[in-house]
Structure 1
Amino acid sequence: MSLQELTSNSSTTVTIPASTNGDSKTSAVLHRTLREKPNSVIASDGNYLHLDNGQSIFDATGGAAVSCLGHGNERVKQAMMTQVDQNAYCYSLFFSHPPGEKLAKFLVDSTNGVMSKALFVSSGSEAMEAALKLSRQYFMELSPPQPQRIRFIARKPSYHGTTIGTLSAGGHVTRRAVYEPLLNQNCTHVSPCYGYRGMKEGEDTEAYVARLAQELDDEFRRVGPDTVCAFIAETVVGASLGCVPAVPGYFKAMKAVCERHGALLIMDEVMSGMGRTGTLHAWEQEGVSPDIQAIGKCLGGGYAPIAGMLVGKKVVDVLDKGTGAFSHGQTYQGHPVACAAAFEVQSIIKEQKWIQNCHEMGQYLGKLLTARLDAHPHVGNVRGRGLFWGIEFVKNKETKEPFDPSAGVAWGIHKKGLQPGYDISVLAANGSVDGIRGDFILIAPAYNIAKTDVETIVDKVQRAIEDYFASAGL
C-alpha cells in the first residue's frame, strides 16, 4: 500500500491527508501518558487505521471492542449527516425524536418483551451509573418503600465504569486505588466466575457454581439481605479479566440468590453485548434475563458516542405506579445524531446477518488462537465467545504464576504489535489475578470480517507474542 492511496475491503479509495503533527513530541491533549504523545490516526478504512507515521494498522480490537462494522461505513455516515440536516440536537427533558424512538423500539423488540424501556446516554459509565440510580429508585417506589436498600454487591476484579459511583461498584484494585477514599463503601465484592483460576482441583462445574452461589448468599446475609439493591455482573467479563464467559448454570444460580433476597440483577453488557459474543444480547446464551441491562460499545460501533440502559418490565411497572418518571437526566442524553448512527449500525448488522458471521468467525478465531498459542510456555489460557477473545500470559504454565506487574508484559505485547512489520492493534490489560497481577490481551475485531482476516489477525498476534517473549528476557 502507498501512503497516499489505500484500498479498503470495500474497494473504497481513501486519500491520506498530510500529517499536521510536525515533529512535536508533546500534546495539549491529556493523553493516558503525559510523557509521550501517541501516533495520530489520520484516516481509517475498513479494518485499518492509518497513522501519521505512514503505518497502516490492522485494528483487531475495534478500539476497546467498539468498531463492530469497521471504519468508514458509508450508510452510517449518511444517516448521521441526514440527521444533522434535520435536527442535530434537542433536549431530551423536553422533546422526543424519531431516531431515538426507532432505536428504543428495535432494542425492546429484540428482547421479546423481556425489557420494556430504553434510555440512551453517551458512555458505558453513564449507562451503569443510571442503572445504579434506577435500582435505588425502584426500591424507594415500591409499595411499601424499602429505603434501607442502599448496598450493591459486585465481583472482583470487575470494572463497570469511571464515575465515582461505577468505580465504587467495580472491584479492580488498581483502577480504584487513587480514588479509594472517595468511593462508596456500600459496594462490596465476591469472587468472579473464572474457571481458569477459580475452580479447585477435582471440582466440577456444578460444584463450582454451587460454591459461588453460596458465597453470594453469604455476602447478602453478612451485609443484611434487605439492604442490597442489586447484584452486578458482566455477562462475559471484558477488560478486567479478559473475555471470560461464565460456566454453564452460573447466572441462573446468581439470579436465584437475588430473587431469594428480593434484590435486582444488573447485567453489564457494555463490552460484551450487542452481538459481540454471538447473540445480540449476551444473556440470551445464559438462559436468564436481567432486571436492568447496560449496553454500549457496539450499540453505535464507534460512529457516535452512545450507550444505553434497558429496563425490565418489573422495574418499569413500579415507577409507572409511583412517580411515573426516572429521576435522572444529562445534557446529551438521547442525542439525535448518536441515535441515528446507532439505529443504522443495528439495521446493517441485522440485514447483513453479521451476528451470525460473528458467531461463525468467532469459532474459527478461537480454534486458530488455541491451535497456534496454547502450547506457548507463557500462554496460560485462551478463552472467549463470539468475536471476543482473551489470551492470558503466565510466568509458569504449570503453577499459573503471573508475571510481576513491573514487567509490563501485556503492554509490551501491545507495543510490539504496533511496531512496523507487525502492524496490529490489540487491547492490553492487567489485574486478572487480584486486580494488580495478571497480564492479558483482548482481540475483538469487526463482525464483518472474513476467514482471511481471521488468519491475518492470528498470524500477526502469534508473531508479536513470540517475538516479544524471545527478546524480553523473561
Structure 2
Amino acid sequence: MPGHIFGRSTRGSLPIAAAGEGCYILDAEGRRYLDGSGGAAVSCLGHSNEAVRAALHDQLDRLAFAHTGFFTSEPAERLADRLAAAAPEGIERVYLVSGGSEAVEAALKLARQYFMEVGQPGRHRVIARRQSYHGNTLGALAAGGNEWRRAQFAPLLVETSHVSPCYEYRGRAEDESLEAYGLRVADELDAEIRRLGPETVMAFVAEPVVGATAGAVPAVPGYLKRIREICDRHGVLLILDEVMCGMGRTGHLFACAEDGVAPDMITIAKGLGAGYQPIGALLVQGRIYDAIAAGSGFFQHGHTYMGHAMAAAAANAVLDEIEGRDLLSAVRRQGARLEALLHERLGQHPHVGDIRGRGLFRGIELVADRETKEPFDPARKLHARIKAEAFAGGLICYPMGGTLDGVRGDHILLAPPFIISDTELEELVDKLSGALDRALAA
C-alpha cells in the first residue's frame, strides 16, 4: 500500500534507510551504500558515531527542549562560546537556528535591521553571485543565483543583483593569471555597488567554496580579500555562506580562514550537527550585535526550535570529535589522497573537464568536449543518470545539472565523511568511475 510521505519527488520510490555503519548506510533489504557525499555534505562523522549518540542520550535524560523566549540552556551557551572562540576575528555572537536556509534568512534580516538601527534606512539591496545557492526559504532563494531553482518562484522573490562567480575553469582568460582573474571578477562587485548607489546596498553574500550549484568551486587567491576591501570601502556587510563548505569540510573549521578573510557574518549548518540533529547558526561581528543592543535591544526574528538543547548537545559532541581526533588534519590528508585518486583515474578521461575543490569537498565537471569545454546537451540529463548508476552500484554521490547557467552543464560533488579510510576512498573512486562510464554509454 502506498505511503503518505510527500517527498522530494512524486516519481518512483526510495529504499528505506535502516542503519548506519561508519561511512555506509544500509537499507531495509540489507544493501550497503558508501556515502561519498555525506548526503549533501552533512554526515561528516559517518552514521554511527558513539560519542555523539551518547551525548544525545545524556542530554535527553536531562532536558530535550526549553523555549528560548523563557530560557537559555547549558549546551547552547557552550556551543556559542566555542564557535565564537574559533571564528574569524571580530565574530563575537552566535544565533542558533535549525538549518542553513534559516541561518541565511536570519543574516539577511539582521543586515536590514542593523542598518535601520544605525540610521541608514536606505540600505536594503542585496548583491550575490550567479550560480550560487543560499537556501530554499524565499529570502535565501532570492539571494541565490541559480536560475532553475528561482524561476517559478520569481514573482515572490525580493530583488537581488547578481555578479559573476569566481569560476576560474570557465571564466579565466588564457593569458590571465589566477590573481588577475580574481581581482577582475571581484571588481564587478564594486561596479554593481556604484551602479545601484552605495547608500542603498546592505550586503554581499557569497560561498567561499561554491557547493551544490557549481561543484566545489573555490575562490582563487586574492579574490575574497578584494571583496572584503570593496565591502569596507562602501560600508556594505560581507556575509559568507559556509553552510556546505564550513565546519571542517575544506580542512579548516571555517573555510574563509584559508583565504585570510574575516566577514561580518558567517552562516553554518550541515556539518555542525553532522546529521545527528538539525542545527545551523549565524555568527555575527560584535559591532552588529552592539548596534542592536544599543538600539531596540531586540532582533525582530525567531523560530520555535532555535537554540534547541538536543541540537546544541549534538553539535558540541561533533566539535569534540573534530577537535579531539584531529579530524581537520585527516580532512586535509584524505582530501589530498582523494584528489590524487581522482586525477589518476579520471584526469585524462575524455569527458572530465575539471577536477577541483579543497579538503574532502571535491567537484568533477563533465564536458562533451575537453578542448572546447562544451557541455553535454541538458536533455540528456547526464547528472541524473550518473546518480542512478552510482546508487545502483552502492555509491551515494551528488551529481547536479545546470553548472554553467542553471540549464547547461553537469558536475559531480563529493563530500565523504571525515573518517573515510584509504580503502574506502579507493572504493569511492572505483565505483564513481564505473557509474560515469555506464551513464555515458547509456
- Bucket of the pairwise TM-score, normalised by the shorter protein: over 0.9
Asked if 1:133 corresponds to 2:104, the answer is no
8 Å CA contact 1:93–1:329 kept in 2: the answer is no
Q: Distance in 1 between matches of 2:123 and 2:89?
A: 27
Asked if 1:155 corresponds to 2:126, the answer is no
Shift of 1:71: 0.5
Secondary structure at 1:279's aligned position in 2? coil
Matches within 5 A, 1:352-371: 352-371=325-344
Q: Distance in 2 between matches of 1:354 and 1:362?
A: 11
- Determine what percentage of the aligned residue pairs are the same residue: 48
Secondary structure at 1:230's aligned position in 2? strand
Q: What is aligned with 2:10?
A: 34
Secondary structure at 1:34's aligned position in 2? coil
Shift of 1:112: 6.1
Q: Distance in 2 between matches of 1:280 and 1:131?
A: 20
Q: What is aligned with 1:331?
A: 304
- Choose from 6, 23, 33 the match for 1:57: 33
Q: Distance in 1 between matches of 2:339 and 2:179?
A: 25
Q: Distance in 1 between matches of 2:99 and 2:74?
A: 21
Which letter maps to 2:141? L
Which letter maps to 2:117? E
Shift of 1:225: 1.3
Matches within 5 A, 1:38-437: 38-111=14-87, 113-142=89-118, 145-185=119-159, 187-419=160-392, 422-437=393-408
Q: Distance in 1 between matches of 2:331 and 2:258?
A: 14
Secondary structure at 1:165's aligned position in 2? helix
- Choose from 416, 421, 432 the match for 1:461: 432
Which letter maps to 2:402? G
Q: Distance in 1 between matches of 2:120 and 2:90?
A: 24
Q: Distance in 2 between matches of 1:223 and 1:93?
A: 39
Shift of 1:410: 1.0
**TM-score (structure 1 length as normaliser):** 0.91
8 Å CA contact 1:108–1:115 kept in 2: the answer is yes
Matches within 5 A, 1:438-457: 438-457=409-428
8 Å CA contact 1:379–1:394 kept in 2: the answer is yes
CA displacement 1:98-128 (0-9 Å, x = unmatched): 0000101110111265310101111100000
Secondary structure at 1:267's aligned position in 2? strand
Shift of 1:295: 0.2
May I ask how many residue pairs the two structures share in their alignment?
442
Q: Distance in 1 between matches of 2:193 and 2:418?
A: 39
8 Å CA contact 2:183–2:222 kept in 1: the answer is no
Structure 1 stretches of at least 4 aligned residues deviating more than 3 Å after TM superposition = none
Q: Distance in 1 between matches of 2:346 and 2:421?
A: 21
Secondary structure at 2:33's aligned position in 1? strand
Q: Distance in 1 between matches of 2:98 and 2:152?
A: 25
Shift of 1:456: 1.5
Q: What is aligned with 1:14?
A: none
8 Å CA contact 2:248–2:255 kept in 1: the answer is yes
CA displacement 1:117-149 (0-9 Å, x = unmatched): 10111110000000001111111111xx01000
Which letter maps to 1:116? E
Q: Which runs of 5+ in 2 are unaligned?
A: none
Of 319-328 and 60-69, more deviation after overlay is shown by 319-328
**TM-score (structure 2 length as normaliser):** 0.98
RMSD: 1.1
Shift of 1:468: 2.1
Shift of 1:48: 0.8
Shift of 1:97: 0.4
Q: Which runs of 5+ in 1 are unaligned?
A: 1-23
Which letter maps to 1:276? R
Which letter maps to 1:184? V
Secondary structure at 1:441's aligned position in 2? strand
Q: Distance in 2 between matches of 1:237 and 1:114?
A: 24
Q: Distance in 2 between matches of 1:305 and 1:284?
A: 25
CA displacement 1:36-59 (0-9 Å, x = unmatched): 111111111111111133311101
Secondary structure at 2:256's aligned position in 1? helix
Q: Distance in 2 between matches of 1:392 and 1:445?
A: 18
8 Å CA contact 1:153–1:230 kept in 2: the answer is yes
Shift of 1:245: 0.5
8 Å CA contact 1:150–1:228 kept in 2: the answer is yes
8 Å CA contact 1:128–1:294 kept in 2: the answer is yes
CA displacement 1:153-191 (0-9 Å, x = unmatched): 000011100011110111100000110111112x11000
Of 72-81 and 110-119, more deviation after overlay is shown by 110-119
Q: Which has the higher contact order (CA 8 A, sep 6+)?
A: 2
8 Å CA contact 2:402–2:409 kept in 1: the answer is yes
CA displacement 1:340-398 (0-9 Å, x = unmatched): 01100111110000111001100110111012101111111110100000111111111
